[in-house]
Amino acid sequence: MIEIRNIAQDKPHELFIKYYDEALKAKQSSINAISISSFDFEKNEVESRFVNLKYIIEDKWIFFTNYGSPKAQAFNKHKQICALLFWDSINTQIRIKGKIRRTSTSFSDKHFVGRQPEKNALAISSNQSRKIDSYEDVLKNFEYIKENSDLTKRPIYWGGFEFIPYYFEFWEGKKNRLNKREVFEYKENDWINFILEP
Amino acid sequence: MIEIRNIAQDKPHELFIKYYDEALKAKQSSINAISISSFDFEKNEVESRFVNLKYIIEDKWIFFTNYGSPKAQAFNKHKQICALLFWDSINTQIRIKGKIRRTSTSFSDKHFVGRQPEKNALAISSNQSRKIDSYEDVLKNFEYIKENSDLTKRPIYWGGFEFIPYYFEFWEGKKNRLNKREVFEYKENDWINFILEP
């Protein structure tokens, strides 16, 4: 589930909610799994990974990660990202382009306190995406932190990112690939709307 | 289903097959839906979309598209892509980075002939991702082509792309986010292998 609060009252967000409700009704698994693609300016490489979308608040789409992770570093140099949802229970793909930035520290603090202690132990103990000698070391670090740390205190190297969409494509798969594709693009303070060939 | 022929006899492709067989056994839906992320050099933007992975032949991963589409144009200027699979039935994500190029025209021809005539009518009739006035026009073009074209003759603007991986990450979701992450990177004619913190 995605926690949705005061979502923006515009066409693309309204349409998003319509599809989201349909996918919920169809019991879509992993409904909040969203692919985030970024451009690593240093390596000149595109990279993608799934994250859990936790909140949509107004027009901000929010997930959490380690601020030292490769994706966090990529966001610093290239703030544009592409987010992708695919709900096969309703054969619908949603593509979003947006600009990304950190959430406020107070927002991250509040979210951290509400999480399960075990998840926080991992957030504290893991240098996300660093090479490590063995999975056993991961478990050992985790157990040590779980017993010896304040699991309600957010470490400064962990927190939220929020992206604000400027482009949506809603893609519905149809028979014979006659797919329906509707685009909303934010231009000059307004959403313009058009359809694309399948 | 992905059609797999003479797959490369190396560690990451072997591991891929292991997970693929597990996902098949778990009746993963949309098993060949793969996100392809590219960098559009002109627009300075990352873009992602799902495609159907049709073949893995040796170390080539193959899908088909319109050669005039935005993604095909992006591949011309920036040949590195990121491919992403998420099979929630086995809670496994596979991230691949590779270099992309067109398949041979003879390979595209052969694949085109074997497809359903209706899909070919759409491949011929659609200027993929161009703006269009109405979905009704899409249907009209499609019906016209279906009745009036040779549906076995591949149009030059439609065909395959193949990417050759140089990086794999196999990610298995575990309790408390103690995820297992194993990486294979192709360097100096060999695959090196290491694990990452969760």
Q: How do residues B89-98 score in pLDDT, each as one tens digit?
A: 999 999 999 9
* Mutation site, B34, B37, B95, interface A, largest A CB count within 10 A: B37
A139 touches chain B (CB under 8 A): yes
Q: Do B46 and A46 touch (CB under 8 A)?
A: yes
CA angle A49, B3, A83 (to 5 degrees): 20
- Interface list for B 17-36 with A (CB within 8 A): 29-30, 33, 35
Residue A151 lies in a domain: no
| Each residue's pLDDT tens digit, B104-146 | 999 999 999 999 999 999 999 998 899 998 999 999 999 999 9
pLDDT given for residue B128 in this prediction: 87
Tell me the residue range of the domain where A87 lies: 3-115+156-196
3-state helix/strand/coil string of chain A:
CCEEECCCCCHHHHHHHHHHHHHHHCCCCCCCEEEEEEEECCCCEEEEEEEECCEEECCEEEEEEECCCHHHHHHHHCCEEEEEEEECCCCEEEEEEEEEEECCHHHHHHHHHCCCHHHHHHHHHCCCCCEECCHHHHHHHHHHHHHHCCCCCCCCCEEEEEEEEEEEEEEECCHHHCCEEEEEEEECCEEEEEEECC
> Is B141 a domain residue?
no
A121 assigned to some structural domain: no
Looking at the complex, report in whole angstroms how far the Cα of residue B52 sits from the nearest Cα belonging to chain A.
12
Q: Which residues of B touch A129 (CB under 8 A)?
A: 181, 196-197
The pair phi, psi for residue A7, each rounded to 5°, is -60, 145
Specify the pLDDT at position B189: 94
- Pick from A48, A86, A128: which is nearest to B82 by CB? A48
Give a yes or no: residue B145 inside a domain. no
Q: Classify residue B123 as exposed, middle or buried by CB count within 10 Å of its CB (0-12, 13-18, 19+).
A: buried
Say whether residue B142 is in contact with chain A using an 8 A CB cutoff: yes
CATH number (domain holding residue A103): 2.30.110.10
Instruction: Tell me the pLDDT band of A155, cut-offs 50, 70 and 90.
Output: very high
Complex ipTM value: 0.96
Interface of B with A in 35-74 (CB under 8 A): 35, 37-39, 44-50
Judge whether B31 lies within some domain.
Answer: yes
Asked if the Cβ–Cβ distance from B47 to A97 is below 8 Å, we say yes
Q: What is the pLDDT of residue A41?
A: 95
The total of structural domains in chain A comes to 1
A68: distance to nearest CA of chain B, Å? 12
Q: For A60-106, what is each residue's pLDDT tens digit? A: 999 999 999 999 999 999 999 999 999 999 999 999 999 999 999 99
